[in-house]
Amino acid sequence: MPSRQPVDLVIEARWVLPIAPENSALAGHAVAVSDGRIVALGPAAELRERYAPQEHVVRDAHALLPGFVNAHTRAATVLLRGLPVRAPRLRWLRETLAPAEERWLSPDFVHDGTRLAIAEMLRAGITAFGDAYLFPEEVARAAAAARVRAAVGLPVADATTPWAENATEHLAKCEALWDEYRSHPWVSLHFAPQAPYCVEDATLTRVRRVADELDARIAMQLHETEVEVRDSLARYGRRPLQRLADLGLLRPGFTAINLNRLDESDLELITRTGIACVVCPQSDLRLGDGPSSLAQLVGRGVSVGLGTDGAAGTGALDVLAEARTASLTAHALATGRPALAAQEVMRLATLGGASALGLSHLIGSIEPGKAADLVCIDLSPLACQPDADPFDAIVFAATRQQVSDVWVAGRAAVAEGRLIAFDEQELLALARLWARRVQPGAAA
């Protein structure tokens, strides 16, 4: 009998959901991992014969799937989660969020908030996230230290921000950070100009040129509100998407975030240009923007991922909850058969988000050669019984509390429900410290 091949880890599960190349549930399968990469996926009995693992994990009541991808957030705003949230979005941004950020936003705020957010996301099965906030160097530093994947947006604005005085200084700082992190194992960078109504055409053209030179992605929030669309028509004579298309930004490598209030011309433009999209269902609903055009985008074959947006407006950094909200909203708006089945929404929560961040070659599915970013969800609770379709059980019955194990590049970050990538008591003390600082009436 031939000797078994040594590997670092073999994980057996009741179900394995590889997402790609086939989006189905495989019963009694296992995954072999070595050097942070997936070596093999196959029936558990077969992998036991082929491999000799240093560690053998058996989860016989669980589903094993790719780690969730939070394709858009502002991680540090977990520190502002106690602020009141009152729609509409633009009034909340102007009257509640902006004054708090003006008072508290700093490198320490972003670094500490990002650490807390990463711990929360890992515990929820999120192994990669896309961030769009100021002081991106602090986001990158926190992610690198935690050994999680972060696609960090490099902010560009015409107006003065706490990070830079004008567009020229923003771009200079962006290029310096690009040089620092261009080959980093955990951090990837992209340009993240502010919303279109905050940035002039000349600046957007500069961003496009620099991104072309560096072969960098660009991500922007747009079509968030009806006011944004109306003002763009009044000022530029074009809807926001058409304006960006005329400036040469809409093409593969561009990610559009939010995308509410789309008409047929917008949908046609998105489809034709091959851009990726990210929707944030819970944030949009809580801040009064209404449901996104998710079902129409998916129906046209557009690459779509799910994001939580910032915790200050959404509450929880929970992609599983976003998936449920996305599916239920799509069903409510559909006529005839359901518009977004559980299998499809799980693809959006994993591979779709990876594609939106430019990381689908590395993560988002359980395929040999990809990074072993994996999550186990316990399906033994009564809410998931009797033994039903695992996709339906995960999307419509499970919660993030059922995430039992998380691996990033084959390294355990959560084991049997216990967060091991961080000291939870230290983080709780840090959260309490910031809660005292930012409560109403606290001194700056």
Residues β-bridged to residue 156: 193
pLDDT recorded at residue 288: 87
How do 29-34 and 37-43 pair as beta strands? antiparallel
What is the torsional sign of CA 216, 374, 113, 400? positive
> How many whole angstroms separate alpha carbon 321 and alpha carbon 173?
35
Q: Which residues contact 338 (CB under 8 A, 6 or more apart)?
A: 330, 331
> How many whole angstroms separate alpha carbon 74 and alpha carbon 149?
15
Torsion of CA 408, 414, 415, 419, to 10 degrees: 150
DSSP-derived 3-state class of residue 41: strand
Instruction: Report how far apart, in Å, the C-alpha atoms of 109 and of each of 94, 117, 122, 151 are.
Output: 20, 12, 20, 19
Q: Are 109 and 140 in contact (CB under 8 A)?
A: no
> How many whole angstroms separate alpha carbon 219 and alpha carbon 249?
10
pLDDT recorded at residue 438: 85
201 residue type, one letter: D
pLDDT recorded at residue 340: 86
Rounded to 5 degrees, φ, ψ at 43 are -55, 140
pLDDT recorded at residue 330: 86
Kind and range of the H or E run holding 155: strand 149-156
Q: Are 342 and 320 in contact (CB under 8 A)?
A: no
CATH number for 68-356: choose from 3.20.20.140, 3.40.50.720, 3.20.20.370, 2.60.120.460: 3.20.20.140
Angle between helices 107-123 and 424-438 (to 10 degrees): 130
CATH number for 5-66+372-419: choose from 3.40.50.1000, 1.10.10.10, 2.30.40.10, 2.40.240.10: 2.30.40.10
Residue 157: other Cβ atoms inside 10 A: 21
pLDDT recorded at residue 323: 97
pLDDT recorded at residue 422: 93
Considering just the CA atoms, what is the radius of gyration of the chain in Å? 21
Mean pLDDT of the chain: 94
Eight-class DSSP state of 93: I
Q: Are 390 and 15 in contact (CB under 8 A)?
A: yes
> How many whole angstroms separate alpha carbon 416 and alpha carbon 22?
28
pLDDT recorded at residue 387: 77
> How many whole angstroms separate alpha carbon 145 and alpha carbon 362?
20
Task: Parse the chain into domains and list their residue ranges.
Answer: 5-66+372-419, 68-356
> How many whole angstroms separate alpha carbon 360 and alpha carbon 350?
9
pLDDT recorded at residue 441: 55
Low-confidence ranges of the chain (pLDDT < 70): 1, 334-338, 440-444
Q: Provide the whole-model pTM.
A: 0.96
Q: Which residues contact 202 (CB under 8 A, 6 or more apart)?
A: none
